[in-house]
Structure 1
């Protein structure tokens, strides 16, 4: 029997009931105020073990060590990481199966177009997912949130279209009330507010654009919902959004940064700094060509034994970090401001705002590049560069299902193929664009 909330609820139940959850928390808590030497020792011990596993069982790394002449036993310290190759998003898009250590059926898949428009798939073990939750719960604890905090969660929440338009869903085992980001309208606000107050949350969690949209609707009605913390991720926040969320929800912003590939994580502390979480992953900062003030984040995960990624180029850039120790007392490295996902909201045919619209293309298969464009309210175009295994009919049907489920019915959707999607001056392809006109977006369509 499927539990209330379906597969998503089952995953949360598994994570919370996992026998290693509390031993993981004890390990993480012991490192919370450890000195830099102890933290480095933890990282290097994990790194050595993961390299041995990858060299023995992952095809990509078996090939690398066989052809490079490097012995996996040579990788012992953080400085030895330089002996390993940099992994690109293209490597992952084209060779994901070659990074597998465990059978794919034993792991949980994650897909994303990220900020680059190049769809990728990655995998993680159940233990990796539990470890990630434990790392986040430790951060939440810095702000007074209990490990089993009750959270209102606002993201894509694709359940809504499957439940007669109901904008909320309770996941009892996860202690979460899901609120559909695509049903944040004055018409639904009363029901949403009633459910939130009945749930009595400790925190509001989700995409900043969605949380800010709910806050704006509440403020228009003169309503406030005080919580212990506002947990954010996935988007860059504007000062206006931060002020609005703090005003309506009366809690501090607890922000964290991560990726679908889950190679590194960082987040805010109670003193206002932004720290790398060193027991989750190793961070290298590589200079960005042509800039003296920007660095690319290169990450090595320390928790995913089934899909090890070493020195993965995230494509995310950071500016200079603050200097000196943080007032919170932790020895975690400080990280500068991150250039994360920034997207304009789309507009549905009925006028609803649709936050983070690139979720429509995150799980499309067989593509080298993908982008979704709004040509007019309620009129969207999915633009693709075909890759291995591409099927136009299957891609269109999948995109249509995603739009109907997340944006709602009565939206116009077309699919268009190209040999390359046009980049802005920065060279970084945007996954979602608002054009409200029929543009000339690429270097040319794929010939019929």
Structure 2
């Protein structure tokens, strides 16, 4: 789940004021058109230093190098990465603290159920977060957006959860942002929201594709459009119908980027239509998916998070074949095919509001091996959990009910159900949020994409 509004604002100010921010920006700018050899040198230099730090100070890697009898100094090139173990979510679910190099109090936590329904907690340093922001702003510049562009943000409703009244927006002056609650996009709220957005004069709209598409549909139904320089999307896949609607209402190009809570790899769209791996963010390996031709799993090694190093982390996300020809943009950043990432059903609240990306309410539950939230009917939800080490039944139930009440709004019915395992669909991939019994009392949403 995203940080609360006040904490998120503080973190944004820290990123903007970080003493290395402009050094990072200059380095990233020079890398943009660097030859492949220079990019590789950068990656391997970072890799060597991170391995040394991890082997000396991370309990997990210190034990692993000792047990494997491998000298950390022997990991020098990208080709040497294969000597390190592959990691997955289970390693982080069980004990994320063993990966820490810095004390937790000096880092920012992040929680997510991601695409797998397995809640995970990671940590990152303020410097790592600043580097990530600089990477993203470099991508935005490809589309004409300046650093610090004025942005309307649609990512949940945590900032609004404690008010439950008034126009569901918040102006963050220091961040040049206008937050709009994703869970309060209704025909009744649109006039007030639109007035605040127009007064704010945004250069971009940013957030979950499902939330942006919902706002676009409401504006379209009013005969309104809201031209911006670009629309920035992430966190979930965008459907063709959503992309068409977003372009029609906001008139700007869609600037999509791919990443994870673990922050081991990042990729994004360029102005020429390519989808590039950002090599200064992390080293990406593509692991063939067994039994599925032309599908590869993204395995990432972060090059920026000195406080929580992760090498060869299996993201669980898959890609198809990359384009066979170089991108017309001329950058040496490798291309990847379409990413098969997070997809979730949109829920419906008891009062008929649509609830995009609903798994955010289970992202910060702890002591669980798996979790899933299911909508059984509008306003009626079941949270399914598989307990793990450190599970506290009362604490999980209290947190889950508070999350539903704060984020979805009061008046919802929620039950918790403990299971030995959560059943998988035919695809075998557990979804963190699903709508069930669509025909049994399920009201059709008033707005269609």
Cα shift readout 1:384-443 (whole Å, capped 9, x = no counterpart): 00111212221111111111111100000000000011011221111011003799xxxx
Which is further off, 88-97 or 41-50? 88-97
Is the contact made by 2:5 and 2:158 (CA closer than 8 Å) also made in structure 1? Answer: no
Q: Distance in 2 between matches of 1:353 and 1:200?
A: 26
- The equivalences for 1:412-431 within 5 A come to 412-431=413-432
Q: What is the deviation of 1:303?
A: 0.1
Runs (5+) with no aligned partner, structure 2: 441-449
Q: What is the deviation of 1:324?
A: 2.0
Which is further off, 154-163 or 177-186? 154-163
In the other structure, the counterpart of 2:324 is 323
Q: Distance in 2 between matches of 1:171 and 1:5?
A: 9
Cα shift readout 1:222-277 (whole Å, capped 9, x = no counterpart): 11110000000011111110010001000000000000000000000000000000
1:264 is aligned to 2:257: no
Which is further off, 256-265 or 386-395? 386-395
Q: What is the deviation of 1:160?
A: 1.4
Q: Distance in 2 between matches of 1:366 and 1:6?
A: 26
CA RMSD of aligned residues (A): 1.3
Cα shift readout 1:169-226 (whole Å, capped 9, x = no counterpart): 1111111100000000001001100110010001000000000000000011111110
Q: Distance in 2 between matches of 1:116 and 1:255?
A: 21
SS in structure 1 at match of 2:414: strand
- The equivalences for 1:27-46 within 5 A come to 27-46=27-46
- The equivalences for 1:75-224 within 5 A come to 75-165=75-165, 166-224=167-225
Is the contact made by 1:116 and 1:429 (CA closer than 8 Å) also made in structure 2? Answer: yes
SS in structure 2 at match of 1:231: strand
Is the contact made by 1:375 and 1:438 (CA closer than 8 Å) also made in structure 2? Answer: no
Q: Distance in 1 between matches of 2:20 and 2:126?
A: 10
In the other structure, the counterpart of 1:66 is 66
Cα shift readout 1:305-353 (whole Å, capped 9, x = no counterpart): 0000000000000000101211000000101101111111000001111
Q: Distance in 1 between matches of 2:182 and 2:369?
A: 28
In the other structure, the counterpart of 1:446 is none
Is the contact made by 1:377 and 1:436 (CA closer than 8 Å) also made in structure 2? Answer: no
In the other structure, the counterpart of 1:443 is none
Q: Distance in 1 between matches of 2:378 and 2:94?
A: 34
Deviating 4+ runs (over 4 angstroms): none
Q: What is the deviation of 1:121?
A: 0.3
- The equivalences for 1:302-313 within 5 A come to 302-313=303-314
In the other structure, the counterpart of 1:26 is 26
TM-score by length of 1: 0.96
Is the contact made by 1:5 and 1:170 (CA closer than 8 Å) also made in structure 2? Answer: no
Q: Distance in 1 between matches of 2:81 and 2:164?
A: 52
In the other structure, the counterpart of 2:7 is 7
Q: What is the deviation of 1:162?
A: 1.2
- The equivalences for 1:354-369 within 5 A come to 354-369=355-370
In the other structure, the counterpart of 1:53 is 53
Q: What is the deviation of 1:5?
A: 4.6
Q: Distance in 2 between matches of 1:24 and 1:398?
A: 38
1:228 is aligned to 2:229: yes
SS in structure 1 at match of 2:307: coil
Is the contact made by 1:381 and 1:416 (CA closer than 8 Å) also made in structure 2? Answer: yes
